Amino acid sequence: MDTHEPTRDPSLTIRSLVKAYRPGQPVLKNIDLTLAASGVTAIIGPSGTGKSTLIRCINRLVDPTSGEIWFEGENLVALSSARLRLVRRRIGMVFQEYNLVERLPVIENILTGRLGYVPFWRVWLRRFPAEDIERAFELLDAVGLGSDFATRRADQLSGGQRQRVGIARALMQQPRLLLADEPTSSLDPRTSVEIMDLLGALAEREKVPVIINIHNVELARRCAGRIIGMAQGAIVFDGAPDALDDARLATIYGGEGWLQ
């Protein structure tokens, strides 16, 4: 279905985005950002700097205070909730805590990625369309789990396995944009690398642009084609991984002592 060539067209444009949970104390201060329709973009920065808020503003899990978010010709900030739901179907999201429905089998967790499309009675009776089931199994293979895992309950999986299911669920949406909010922060270092590599490879295969919030600078360098550094609610660095030297890191994270 999604066979378009990666183009230079911007996939996502954010204009003067502000979010203040409490009036007068903005967490995001006037963010301007344009993302290409392909490639992995990593957002790095200290905790509490608004990375997560920024990513959640994009699919409006958090409602922005002001500003515009343009995605495929629509300003998401201005959408009604019904229209928003339709747009959300095209934006996949991977979470730090995986957010799987624990008591459902793996395959059903992946199939929930189609929940925006499948009518209620089909979901109720678990009669998902055959092509969806086909794709779910295909994705189960693609994330490296294999069909043996299909009927296992999600709460029987390890953290890394759960995140693989989380990725499969997001891709099940056939998203036009993939958001990942600290996808590796609950995982051990080795699994983190595996998950990031998987995410990068699948994003390329599915030709979907990815925005990742990430703590780990090394992982960001390894996987992303573009890195955005945030500090205190503003973008302080935007460039290729190579350009991210110690001096730049110091502006992002403040001070140098921690580097040694």
Partner 1 sequence: MTAAATTPPPRWVRFTPLQRLGRFATYLVTVAAVVWSLKTIEIIPEFLYDAPEQTLDLFRRMWPFDWSYYPKAIHAALIETFHIATLGTLLSLVVAVPFAVLGARNVTRVPALNWLANFVFVASRSVNSLIWALLFVAIFGPGALAGTLAIACRSIGFVGKLLSEALEEARPGPVEALTALGAPGPHVLLKGYWPQIEPGFWSVTLLRWDINIRESSVLGLVGAGGIGVALDAALSNLYWDQAGLILAIILVVVLVVEVLTSTLRRRII
Partner 2 sequence: MSASARVRHADPFPPHWGGRALKLLVVVYALYAASTLDVTWSRFVSGLGNGAVFIARMFPPQTAPDKLQLLYEGTLESLQIAILATFFGVLLSLPLGFLAARNLMPRPVVWVARAFIALCRSLHPVIVAILFVKAVGFGALAGALALVVASLGFISKLFGEAIEEIDMKPVEAARAAGGSFLGVTIMAVLPQVAARFIGFASYQFDSNLRNSTMVGIVGGGGIGAPLFTAYQRFDYDFVLTILITVIALVLATEALTGRLRRLFQ
| Residues engaged in binding partner 2 (CB under 8 A) | 105, 107-108, 126, 130, 133-134, 136-137, 147, 150-151
Q: Give the C-alpha separation, 172 to 23, whole Å.
A: 38
Grouping H, G, I as helix, E, B as strand and the rest as coil, residue 20 is coil
How many Cβ atoms sit within 10 Å of the Cβ of residue 25? Answer: 8
- Give me the phi and psi of 233, to 5 degrees please: 80, 10
Q: Which does 170 bind (CB under 5 to 8 A by kind): partner 1, partner 2, none?
A: partner 1
Q: Is 247 in contact with 60 (CB distance < 8 Å)?
A: no
Positions touching partner 1 (CB under 8 A) are 59, 61, 85-93, 95, 97-104, 108, 112-113, 115-116, 118, 120, 123-124, 166, 169-170, 173
Least CB distance to partner 1 at residue 141 (A): 21
Nearer to partner 1, 62 or 236 (CB): 62
For residue 104, what are its two tokens?
Answer: 């459902």
Report the alpha-carbon angle 33-36-42, nearest 5: 65
Least CB distance to partner 2 at residue 135 (A): 11
Least CB distance to partner 2 at residue 136 (A): 8
Nearer to partner 2, 122 or 221 (CB): 122
- Burial zone of 243 (CB within 10 Å; 0-12 exposed, 13-18 middle, 19+ buried): exposed
Q: Which does 134 bind (CB under 5 to 8 A by kind): partner 2, partner 1, none?
A: partner 2
Q: Which does 192 bind (CB under 5 to 8 A by kind): partner 2, partner 1, none?
A: none
